[in-house]
Structure 1
Amino acid sequence: MAAKFVAILSLAVAASAIPLVPVAKVAYEPEAPAHYEFQYSVEDHHTGDIKSQRESRSGDAVHGSYSLVQPDGVHRIVEYTSDKEHGFNAIVRYEGHPTEAPQKVAYAPVAKVAYAPVAKVAYAAPVAKVAYAAPVAKLAYAAPVAKVAYSTAPAHVTFSSPIISYHH
């Protein structure tokens, strides 16, 4: 009975020793509405890559457009808007007429790279000789000596590139 009293008393003392931690109130500030504007354009007549885009956002409303010249020569223009009330809406227009043949793209010549020959690697594992004799403690005979030999044939490894191949 006294043990129970001591246990309960010690728990009460321990609980009273724990300081109360004040609970801090964290005030959350509402985030400011998003606002940005950007635009870019590319006009590379050598490759035929002609495109542009612009976009602006104020809060949840997004307004923008992009345009590009398709491979058949037609200029595609897309104007779009997006907001919480109406969702995403796009208007697509085409200007010009398709050409008879798609535009041919001129590519710059690719540099040719010569690779040095690959070194041949040969590997031979060391030969291990193992001899074992059983202990003679309570045996009347000695086990025969076993000879174990291990070797591998030389490996031929090659690697070549730019078309990747590997031989072993």
Structure 2
Amino acid sequence: MVQKLIILSALVAAASAVAVLPGPVYPGLAGIHGLPGLPALSPLPALPALPALTKIAAPVLPAITKIAAPLAVAKVAVPEPYDPNPQYSFSYDVHDGTTGDVKNQQEVRSGDVVQGAYSLIEPDGTRRIVEYTADPVHGFNAIVRREPIAVKAVAPIAKVLAPAPLLHAPVIAKAIPAISALPALPALPGLALPGPLSPYHG
């Protein structure tokens, strides 16, 4: 904003400045030609007249309009409805065999008195059970117990003995009776064979 004011005042000063120009003759040189030892100087020709300077008005800048910021709307907090005797109860149970996540919780509230319990399986395999109460007179109180988890009895696995290695018995060759030659087949009449039949014969 200050920069704009400086520029504006410089423009106004430049527009209102008056130029002072010398007259058509140089009056200071008129008496110089009479000095001893110097040649006489002829008077200088008159300078042509300069056109009159026109004053240029400072540019008119548009007025800067300030826009007011929108007014903030005050929100009035509406009080929530008051329940002099709040009541609720809830419970949940998780038993995930794949991840081992086993836990549960139940809680009951009647007015300002809360009673509940939760349990979970700890990494060492015990179950932690927490029973708690809360009221305006005694505050929050909890009782923590730990119980071992009943381990399922697993039947012992019978040991399977590996069979004894087999001893190789001597190979006994059985004699296969020789097959006697088959009798020749009788020739069929009218059928002449060209020669021996062989799959490799061309």
TM range (shorter): 0.3 to 0.5
Larger Rg: 2
Q: Whose RCO is larger (CA < 8 A, sep 6+)? A: 1
| Superposition TM-score, scaled by structure 1 size | 0.39
| Superposition TM-score, scaled by structure 2 size | 0.33
The structure with the greater share of residues assigned to strand is 1
